[in-house]
Amino acid sequence: MKHRILFAAMVALALSVMGAGPAVAAPAKAKCAGAAKTKACKPAPASLAKKKASSSKKSVKVARAGRNAARLTARGKRVLAGRLAAARRQAARAHAAEEPLTLRLDGFGQPLLGSSAFYVVNQDTGEVLLQRGAHRVMPIASITKLMTAIVVLESRSSLNEVLSITENDIDHLKGTGSRLGLGTRLTREEMLQLALMSSENRAASALARNYPGGRAAFVEAMNVQARLLGMNETRFYDSTGLTPRNVSTPHDLSRMVIAAARYPLIREFTTTIERYVHVNGQVKLFRNTNGLVKSPDWNIGVSKTGYISEAGRCLVMQAWMGGQPLSIVLLDSNGRNMRVVDAQRVRLWLEERPELLAGARRSPQG
């Protein structure tokens, strides 16, 4: 019997070294060696040990495969959910594009808009065509960047000077991201275009930080420009619009849009559809945040969108209709695409009333 026990122990040890036996086999046999000499204490045949080892390995493989499958399934579900959500958004946009625009009027014959405040004025004649809450003071989000551009251009700083994105340009207020990573080096002109076209907050921050006298001097210059333009209910506290302390009114913003239209670079940059830019060794595509700039139904001279939760969705434009330049301000719309829908409703409403634009006609600025 002792020889059998010794033989079984040697077999178990060999199987363990070869990786075929379970790690718990040896303790079990050691316990049996000191037990009474009974039939229950007889060692298992080598074939049975191999079967158990094989079964154990299969169990481990099955368990590992199960865990991997679970991870893959969870990842697949997330990917599938993302794709389905994107497909639903695309279908909704396509449906909205195909669906005829409905124009509902209020009791005064004016279009019902989803923006809580708006102002539409003929730039040439000064005639107010539509308004609601014209002097209501509200956060203006990235509409701010039009004044940022005005101050940059009025400073006469070199547009070819290379500026860098640093830690000081990271948004710690709202936690927004950016496609301009730390260390990105672009010219002042490129920073200006990305701030206007794609509403890049880090670009707007870098522009203010590299102003003579720094950010404080830049913000002061913004407020001085506002006073010069007669924007008496407007206050600026930063160059990006991320702070809700940047406030204005639809009436004041209309003045800013008209002033911005006098700068060829602002007209060009705010209406550029897209641009490829070299960022840290990579070529990245930046697009305009206002999809209307690529619509053949619109002739837009100046455009800027804005959004923070306190301001809602905002849109300002200088647009030509019936040969007339109009300043359009739409603030705090109640849906992601509502500001665009409101702009379309304004255009449709004016097209149905050509007498409102029957004044002296002239061509858009070149």
Residues tagged active-site:
142, 145, 199
Find, among 301, 305, 306, 304, the residue nearest to 319 by Cα: 301
Structure tokens at 154: 């009025």
3-state secondary structure of 135: coil
Residue 8 DSSP SS3:
helix
What would the two tokens of residue 285 be? 């595509």
Instruction: Select from 118, 101, 126, 108 the least CA-distant residue to 351.
Output: 101
CA atoms within 13 A on the CB side of 351: 10
Please, which residues have CB within 8 angstroms of residue 295's CB and are 6 or more apart in sequence? none
Instruction: Give 305: exposed, middle or buried? Use CB within 10 Å, 0-12, 13-18, 19+.
Output: buried
End-to-end CA distance of the chain: 107
Beta strands in the chain (DSSP E): 115-122, 128-132, 138-139, 162-164, 185-187, 247-248, 274-279, 282-287, 300-308, 312-321, 324-333
β-pair partners for 304: 316
* Residue that the structure tokens 């790690």 belong to: 23
Whether the Cβ atoms of residue 311 and residue 329 lie closer than 8 Å to each other = no
CA torsion sign for 351, 356, 362, 366 is negative
Are the C-beta atoms of 249 and 138 separated by less than 8 Å? yes
Class of residue 306 by CB neighbours under 10 A (exposed 0-12, middle 13-18, buried 19+): buried
Q: Which residues of 312-336 are buried (b: 16+ CB within 10 A; e: fewer)?
A: bbbbbbbbbbbebbbbbbbbbbeee
Cβ within 8 Å of residue 155, ≥6 positions away: 211, 212, 221
